[in-house]
Amino acid sequence: METTEKFLDYVKKMQAYTEAIGLMYWDLRTGAPKKGVDQRSQVIGTLSSEVFGMQTSDELATMLDELGSNLDSLDSITRKTVEKVKKEYDMSKKIPADEYKAYVILTSKGESVWEEAKEKSDFSLFYPYLKEIVETNKRFVSYWGVKDDNPYNTLLDEYEPGMTTEILDEVFGELRKKIVPLAKKIADSPNQPKTDFLFKHFPKDKQQQFSYDILKQLGYDFDAGRLDATVHPFATGLNRGDVRITTKYDENDFRTAVFGTIHECGHALYEQNISADLEGLPLSTGTSMGIHESQSLFYENFVGRNENFWKHNYETLQGYAPEQFGAVSAEDFLAAINESKSSLIRIEADELTYPLHIMIRYEIEKGLFNGDMKVEDLPQIWNDKYEEYLGVRPSNDAEGILQDVHWAGGAFGYFPSYALGFLYASQLKAAMLKDLPNFDELCANGDLEPVKNWLTDKVHRHGSMKKPLEILTEATGEGLNATHLVEYLEEKYGRIYQLD
Amino acid sequence: METTEKFLDYVKKMQAYTEAIGLMYWDLRTGAPKKGVDQRSQVIGTLSSEVFGMQTSDELATMLDELGSNLDSLDSITRKTVEKVKKEYDMSKKIPADEYKAYVILTSKGESVWEEAKEKSDFSLFYPYLKEIVETNKRFVSYWGVKDDNPYNTLLDEYEPGMTTEILDEVFGELRKKIVPLAKKIADSPNQPKTDFLFKHFPKDKQQQFSYDILKQLGYDFDAGRLDATVHPFATGLNRGDVRITTKYDENDFRTAVFGTIHECGHALYEQNISADLEGLPLSTGTSMGIHESQSLFYENFVGRNENFWKHNYETLQGYAPEQFGAVSAEDFLAAINESKSSLIRIEADELTYPLHIMIRYEIEKGLFNGDMKVEDLPQIWNDKYEEYLGVRPSNDAEGILQDVHWAGGAFGYFPSYALGFLYASQLKAAMLKDLPNFDELCANGDLEPVKNWLTDKVHRHGSMKKPLEILTEATGEGLNATHLVEYLEEKYGRIYQLD
């Protein structure tokens, strides 16, 4: 079928441009000289416009129409590609070009105003922009189409296809019901871990060596990636043979690099192990933000904070920083890296309280799009919720409503992915235990190949061929639920803080 | 004039693609993971096809026709841009597409066969490819048009606009007449420098620090570039604010890194100091291979091998490698880094004998295209010429005719640029001395800003706005001649080897 060939060539070309753009972004963040940035931005702009043009062209529309009416006759890869590209086409095409352009300018301006507002800790500066950004998103939702009177579902679906407030309300509710009292008990426990030894000077080059050790152990393929240092760690899959990660070395808190590296490695393993059949196609990437985050959090929390993992690695760490850890017992070390404490800042939160930070944002987003929450009331609402869920109250906007950039960029519906990732991960872990009952032993032996292979089989290789909830159900036999995560948190923190 | 706008947007888009391709090549050479290379090559291929398509499109032809008939009404930048793009259009368009495609495959195959042939030191393997590559180039020359019965001039013009065999025969002849006996006298001189201390172990990180010191001193702008390590050093100007260089660290021969770094820095200073008016246009790059090489060789030879430069830097070098140089006098050091000795391999040649390597290649290329030299006879011709000019005879093809990759890639007419660069540089140096009679003092003080500023004024800022011989004549008041280079070489080597 000639149209199929033509369509695949067309999307491969878009994908090629996207890969080139991806490399330019990576380069900008890892060491591009600053005087070249303006011109490089022009180049990125030129290629991005080209991709946008191709994504919304009449030529594409004609091909999509023709292929869309014969979906059943297509092989599964082509069919999924058509579906994914069609969704993006619709999303882009339904917004009038001039409105989209104005929105790009608005959010770009919004991000820089947000930065200033955060610096001055003054929400009023950011307020008019945020209001306009929310209004615009409401309009976009109406263009895209609201199902069941639930505009926020339209936004959720953008990042997590198939996700709804109905599902989230239930699992988040369940989770909150368990986490809030658990966090309270921990705060009141007399058995608080010692943590002072965490903050000693750990030279960057030693941290780097340890990062390399860990990455090799987790199965990160250095022939298909590289590790660099950046201010904010990230992973970027340019193609399945080139999945780069970065980490940040804080010489006074080694945890930043270690857990950052493990987290990004989880993302990278996903992208490195996508099936070769999908190479060059838009399907050759993770299927959603939430599933992606499930891979990074699986490694960060279920491997990296697991006591068995440290049975294998603590001695190595001590070797890199003998003065810091030589006299610290493995038990004290483990308690310290698993300390839980309610705090104000999401990105500094521990694994127990982290989901509460997400739920607060989720409830606000839902209130803005489905309810009658007003942007002007957000600082108050934010602070009240922090007090209610976490028992802490921000004393200013910078450590409250202004802490995250997401809304300034218009990313509504994105936050839930972070908590969803943790939920997915805990369900995958429970399912994995059935096939690998010796999971802890594998960690203790530094033999993580079977763990990676299991995840590759259930998650990685599929790329975007399956939807998030399809992946979850096929891998675990269950729909989304909070049971496993709650059990994990209750068992672990009960033990560390010797509760009951 | 609407076409002008449209044309400039069009060429800026081509330039943007070219910049993206440039970054991908840089990345491939500095650390891209190997498993991603195949897919990255596809991406480069996609973007390159796009550029080629734009470069030869009817849309471009129409604009070029319209603007070409009104050249006088255009501002100078647009006019030069039209001229440059028109030349490239003609070059590309005059070759039938299928012949060009076959040629790309031929040279690509040619390069890999050359590699094998060199490894096995067997010209006969490479012979059929080289023959075909030469034949194809002869045909291309006929498509492009032969002026004055001189096909080789057509090839020269591709790399060095305006250059002819008439000019080269004269200056190369003059140069050879002086260099050959000088090299002979040096070989016979009893005053040979000691060099054993050059080859001691010099740790990579110390070499790197010294490279940074030198680059800063030469005026390389680290906000508009970066230094990395590669197997073959190179400079790449992605845009004037992003001009990257690489060097190679040989721990047993520090000269590789030091002189490689200085050489590439010369290229980089050119690209960093092109006028901002040309940003984003194809004029925002050096005007020719020869002028580019004049900048790298100016710094490598007239600065980097100058005794005054080392008055300022030798102590620093000693500080980085005290065991290696602590007991070596500055005089011995200087003699050692200026040792001259006839050798077989071009890229290892010293500055005195280097031009002879080039002339041999020039005479062969001229013989192939203008005369009746046969590809099958090249090994014999090559060896005879080495014996005649340099007094050394290759004992096999690998160290003779097969040493360079250039011809395998079809680059005929390129080699002369290397020697031209040295000639240009010596003429620029003589002219510079009129404005900066204290040149040696500046070197001795490590104050190289005035040197860079002079070169920026006369060469760098113009980008491709002026032709090579225009640059030369305006900067020096002279046409190409060998006088200054001969004087320099005779004075310098006479002194070092205490001749006469």
**SS3 per-residue string spanning chain B:** CHHHHHHHHHHHHHHHHHHHHHHHHHHHHHCCCHHHHHHHHHHHHHHHHHHHHHHCCHHHHHHHHHHHCCHHHCCHHHHHHHHHHHHHHHHHHCCCHHHHHHHHHHHHHHHHHHHHHHHHCCHHHHHHHHHHHHHHHHHHHHHHCCCCCCHHHHHHHHHCCCCCHHHHHHHHHHHHHHHHHHHHHHHHCCCCCCCHHHHCCCCHHHHHHHHHHHHHHHCCCHHHCCEEECCCCCEEEEECCEEEEEECCCCCCCHHHHHHHHHHHHHHHHHHCCCHHHCCCCCCCCCCHHHHHHHHHHHHHHHCCCHHHHHHHHHHHHHHCHHHHCCCCHHHHHHHHCCCCCCCCHHHCCCCCHHHHHHHHHHHHHHHHCCCCCHHHHHHHHHHHHHHHHCCCCCCCCCCCCCCCHHHHCCCCCCHHHHHHHHHHHHHHHHHHHHCCCHHHHHHHCCCHHHHHHHHHHCHHHCCCCCHHHHHHHHHCCCCCCHHHHHHHHHHHHHHCCCC
CB contact under 8 A, A23 and B24: yes
Is the pLDDT at A56 greater than 80, yes or no? yes
pLDDT at A37 (0 to 100): 93
Is the pLDDT at A198 greater than 70, yes or no? yes
**Cβ proximity of B9 and B224 under 8 Å:** no
Cα separation, A305 vs A334, whole angstroms: 8
Q: Catalytic positions of A, please?
A: 264
pLDDT-derived band at A147, boundaries 50, 70, 90: confident
Cα separation, A104 vs A102, whole angstroms: 6
Closest CA to A257 of A230, A294, A293: A230
pLDDT at B1 (0 to 100): 60
Closest CA to A67 of A57, A79, A59: A79
Q: Is the dihedral of CA A132, A136, A139, A141 positive or negative?
A: negative
Instruction: Return the residue of A nearest to B13 by Cα.
Output: A46
Q: B-chain residues within 8 Å CB-CB of A23? A: 23-24, 27
pLDDT-derived band at A148, boundaries 50, 70, 90: confident
Cβ neighbours around B366 below 10 Å, total: 23
CB contact under 8 A, B31 and A226: yes
Q: Best residue in B14, B242, B284, B285 to probe A by mutation, most A CBs within 10 Å?
A: B242
Closest CA to B349 of B361, B338, B341: B341
Q: B-chain residues within 8 Å CB-CB of A242? A: 32-33, 35-36, 39-40
Q: Which residues of chain B have pLDDT under 50?
A: none
CB contact under 8 A, B24 and A20: yes
Overall average pLDDT of the A400-427 stretch: 97
What does DSSP say about strands B242-247 and B227-229: parallel, antiparallel, or unpaired? parallel
Overall average pLDDT of the A217-226 stretch: 98
pLDDT 10s digits, B23-45: 999 999 999 999 999 999 999 99
CB contact under 8 A, B36 and A242: yes
Stated as kind and residue range, the H or E segment containing A180 is helix A165-188
Q: How far is CA B386 from CA A59, B353, B373, in A?
A: 61, 11, 17
Edge-first strand order for the sheet with A242-247 is A227-229, A242-247, A235-239
Closest CA to B444 of B261, B298, B306: B306
**Cβ proximity of A302 and A455 under 8 Å:** no
CB contact under 8 A, B19 and A32: no
Cα separation, B193 vs B175, whole angstroms: 25
Closest CA to A361 of A398, A407, A409: A407
Which of the following is catalytic: B83, B158, B160, B264? B264
CB contact under 8 A, A242 and B46: no
A239: nearest CB among B20, B39, B221? B39
Q: B-chain residues within 8 Å CB-CB of A39? A: 19, 239-242, 279-280
Closest CA to A409 of A56, A159, A239, A149: A159
Cα separation, B143 vs B61, whole angstroms: 18
pLDDT at B157 (0 to 100): 95
CB contact under 8 A, A224 and B43: no
pLDDT at A1 (0 to 100): 60
Tokens of B352: 């005195």
Q: A-chain residues within 8 Å CB-CB of B40? A: 19, 238-239, 242
Q: A-chain residues within 8 Å CB-CB of B20? A: 20, 24, 43, 47
Q: A-chain residues within 8 Å CB-CB of B240? A: 35-36, 39
Collapsed DSSP state (helix, strand, coil) of residue A427: helix
pLDDT at B500 (0 to 100): 77
CA B393 from chain centre, in angstroms, equals 26
Is the pLDDT at A122 greater than 90, yes or no? yes
Tokens of A308: 């068995």
**Cβ proximity of B243 and B197 under 8 Å:** no
Lowest mean pLDDT among A368-377, A485-494, B99-108: B99-108
**Cβ proximity of A377 and A425 under 8 Å:** no
CB contact under 8 A, B238 and A12: no
Q: Does residue B307 have an active-site annotation?
A: no
Minimal Cα–Cα distance from A238 to chain B, Å?
8
Q: Best residue in A14, A54, A238 to probe B by mutation, most B CBs within 10 Å?
A: A238
Buried b (16+ CB within 10 A) or exposed e, B146-178: beeebbbbbbbbbbbbebbbebbeebbebbbeb
Phi (first) and psi of residue A252, to 5 degrees:
-110, 5
pLDDT at B97 (0 to 100): 87
> What was the ipTM of the complex prediction?
0.93
Tokens of A253: 């808190």
pLDDT at A24 (0 to 100): 96
Stated as kind and residue range, the H or E segment containing A468 is helix A468-476
pLDDT 10s digits, A314-363: 999 999 999 999 999 999 999 999 999 999 999 999 999 999 999 999 99
Is the pLDDT at A500 greater than 80, yes or no? no
Q: Best residue in A12, A19, A28, A223 to probe B by mutation, most B CBs within 10 Å?
A: A19
**Cβ proximity of A339 and A293 under 8 Å:** no
Overall average pLDDT of the A38-42 stretch: 93
